[in-house]
Amino acid sequence: MTSERKLDLSRVALERREAVTELAGVLLNLFGDDLLSLALYGPCVCDDAGRDAPLTSVAVVRSMVLDRLQALSEQGPRLAAAGLPAPLMMTPEFIRRSLDTFALEFLEVRQFHVMLLGPDPFGELSLQREHLRLEIEWSFKRMLLDLRQGLLSSAGDHAALAAVNACVGRRLLMVLRGLLWLRGISDALPVERVLADSERLAGVGLHGVRRAISATLSDPWEDFKALYSEVERLVRLSDELS
């Protein structure tokens, strides 16, 4: 790794630096100077959850060449052994043309990312309120449909509902952050602050949401009913944003 491509590991936990160095080495070997930027993003860089979260990353390359992606796929076992999921692969043009399509996802990257290599293409992303509003509305309504279909597919087995709740919970936090952003709370907030502010905004306690996000489910049927009722409230709240 040349001096001009030196990794910045200053904001990476000591116990995770070896894995991050492994990822960067694989990408630099395959993409060379076409690897423009590399960053960690999402829960793994949040102070309150980062040490246990997967090392999600995003690599920005000059151009997308399928042969190189194929070669990267062959490194999958090596990366998995280091606890590394496959990085998101993007080009600068893809980022520019996708801010309307993946507004929530790019908001998460903008709020929670740590640059490892190259210039930062995410810190000043210009996100439009209407794009975020539409994706938030779509996301809450999609969750409501998923909960309904999950209940119907459970065939009366309440234990199966735990998986439905967990599936919805994996996206909830990102959507709630977007909802708060629309209400003028643009800081990168810790999980508890996001939940507390969302409860104030919704005017109700989000106990089912909390359990789904933390995956601490006790009574699957009662947890499901609570989550369903709260997602209904969030759907109404998102409708009021239009």
Among residues of the chain, what percentage have pLDDT more than 70? Answer: 96
Mean pLDDT, the chain, rounded, equals 93
Q: What is the pLDDT of residues 142-164, one digit of tens each?
A: 999 999 999 999 998 988 999 99
pLDDT at 73 over 80: yes
pLDDT surpasses 80 at 173 = yes
Whether pLDDT at 4 is above 80: no
Residue pair 195/176 in contact by the 8 Å Cβ criterion: yes
Cα-based distances in Å from 157 to 151, 172, 221, 223, 227: 9, 24, 9, 14, 17
Return the pLDDT at 50: 56
Q: Which amino acid is at 113?
A: H
In 3D, which of 128, 208, 122 has the Cα closest to residue 169?
208
At residue 9, does pLDDT exceed 90?
A: yes
The amino acid at residue 53 is: A
CA distances, 85 to each of 44, 54, 148 (Å): 12, 7, 30
HSE (CB half, 13 Å, CA atoms) of 41?
A: 23
Q: What is the pLDDT, as a whole number, of residue 66?
A: 97
pLDDT in tens, 223-234: 999 999 999 999
Q: Find residue 122's DSSP bridge partners.
A: none
The 113-117 sheet, strands edge to edge:
88-90, 57-61, 35-41, 113-117
Q: Looking at the predicted structure, is the pLDDT value of residue 217 above 60?
A: yes
Average of pLDDT values for 119-142? 96
Residues 28-50 pLDDT 10s? 999 999 999 999 999 888 765 55
Listed by start position, the domains of the chain span 3-117, 129-239
Per-residue pLDDT band at 1 (split at 50, 70, 90): very low
Q: Is the pLDDT of residue 56 over 90?
A: yes
Contact criterion met (CB below 8 Å) for 98 and 68: no
First-to-final CA distance of the chain: 50
pLDDT bin (cut points 50, 70, 90) of residue 241 is confident
The CATH number of the domain covering residues in 3-117: 3.30.460
Percent of the chain scoring above 90 in pLDDT: 81
Low-confidence winner among 145-154, 170-179, 186-195 (lowest mean pLDDT): 186-195
